[in-house]
Amino acid sequence: MAHGTTINTAATANRASGFDIERSIVTHRRWLTVMVCLLCASAVVVIGSLRFGAESISYTDVVDIFLLWLRNGPARMESAEPNFMILMYVRLPRIILAFMVGACLATVGVGLQALLRNPLADPYVLGISSGAALGAALAMLIGAGTTIMAMSSLPLFAFIGGLLSIGIVYRIAVSYGHLPVHTLLLAGVVLNAVFSALIMFITSIMDPNRSFGMMSWLMGTLLAPDYPALGALAVYVGVGTTVLATQSTALNILTLGEESARSLGVEVERLKKMIFVIAALLTGAVVSVSGLIGFVGMVIPHAVRLFVGPDHRLLLPASALVGGMFLVIADALARTLLAPSEIPVGVVTALAGGPIFLYLLTRRKGGLAS
């Protein structure tokens, strides 16, 4: 990525909305400043949230446990004491998971919003999430005895569900080789309704004891994954976001409109397909580990765009970090508010994300690019 040059598209996009152009121009220096600030903030949030959970572990204990872990290695420490187990095997993996899930959802949101040039686009609106959730529900119905984190059939089904739904939406919406945005959104809404109905059908034919477990899983749940599962997810997330990041210049040009992008040499249809597949992959991976967590994919890209401007070279990584932070904080709240019991994190994100979004929207009217 070339960070040194200013990008005309960003400036053009903002002129219409009366946005402060100077501030939204991405220079190498500005990119670095923003990213370093956000990385520091992320580190602070992640480390800070280690303190919060159903069991209170003070920061000094946290430090002690980490020192112990560094000195003795992870292997023989398990049977030592519950606090060690809680911190290293419940809380830390969960915080990392929350960060990855949040980053993923925000990245996918940015990609889809750029692609469809519509601020409403997010994995939920387009039906990708409910497709993935339907796949996950089917996996749970079929694999009667297996649990959710068996990490075998479930992510696969979720990915297939996501891909299938985006495929259907795409097939419905595509006409004369083009992809009209409003048809796409409408198709997503309809598909969403159908998939929700199918999920409800599956829960209704399941054993009530188990369907109730599935319902609460679907509400958005961050579990304590083991490290191999976390590693597997990191691979998905890493590949998906990296590929998306390499397309940020193309995404910038795409915001000018498909015709302009085409005349500027962007292979629009190929780009669309690629983004859809990545969106399905990331959403499938995320849904399979966390159920349905709403609002992150829509709110975070908006909020970040208000602050850093619409240039995707900065917007993509910044949204990923902010999305990660947002979900880590939301999950810290979900863990602690009703301790020792928990609130579904999807509830927290929607309750917290909505008002934040409204505030940003009213404070800076017209700041929304595209």
Partner 1 sequence: MWALIVGVFFAVGPATAYETDDGTMKRRQQGILTGMPFMANVVPRTFVDDLGRKLYLAKEPNRLVSLAPSITETLYAIGLGDRVVGVTEFCDYPPQARSKPKVGYSRPNLETIVALQPDLVLAPRDFIRHDVLAKLEQLKIPTFIVEAKTVEDIASRIQTIGRMLGEPETADRVAMELRRRLMELKARTESLPRPRVLYVLNSQPLITVGPGSFIDQLIGMAGGANIAAGAPSPYPRLSMEAVLAQDPQVIIFPVGTAEGISPAEQTLWRRWNTIAAVKTGSFHEIPSDLLNRPGPRIILGLEKLAEIIHPEQFAPSNFQPGR
Q: Token pair for residue 110?
A: 């940015």
Q: Which is nearer to partner 1, 60 or 79 (CB)?
A: 79
Establish if 22 lies at the interface with partner 1 (CB under 8 A).
no
String of contacts with partner 1 for each residue 221-260, x by CB under 8 A: x-xx-x----------------------------------
* 90 part of the interface to partner 1, by CB under 8 A: yes
Instruction: Name, in order, each residue with C-beta under 8 angstroms of 33's C-beta and a sequence gap of 6 or more.
Output: none
The only residue of 71, 341, 355, 365 in contact with partner 1, by rule CB under 8 A = 341
User: Is residue 72 near partner 1 by the rule CB under 8 A?
Assistant: no
The closest of 339, 319, 326, 320 to 293, measured between CA atoms, is: 326
For residue 92, how many other CB atoms are within 10 A of its CB? 21
Q: What is the closest distance, in whole angstroms, from the C-beta atom of residue 38 to partner 1 in the complex?
A: 28
Q: Which is nearer to partner 1, 81 or 267 (CB)?
A: 81
Tokens 């669309």, residue?
A: 272
Q: Is 66 in the site for partner 1 (CB under 8 A)?
A: no
Contact 106, 311 (CB under 8 A): no
Is there a contact between 158 and 135 (Cβ–Cβ < 8 Å)?
yes
> Hunting for tokens 């908006």 — which residue is that?
302
CA–CA dist 5, 202 (Å, integer): 53
DSSP label at residue 88: I
Task: Using the minimum distance from each CB to partner 1, give the nearer residue, 138 or 187.
Answer: 138
Neighbours of 133 (CB within 10 A): 28
Binding residue for partner 1, selected from 135, 344, 346, 367, defined by CB under 8 A: 344
- Of residues 210, 235, 257, 267, which one binds partner 1 by CB under 8 A? 210
Binding residue for partner 1, selected from 207, 228, 363, 365, defined by CB under 8 A: 207
Residues 149-168 interacting with partner 1 (rule: CB under 8 A)? 149-150
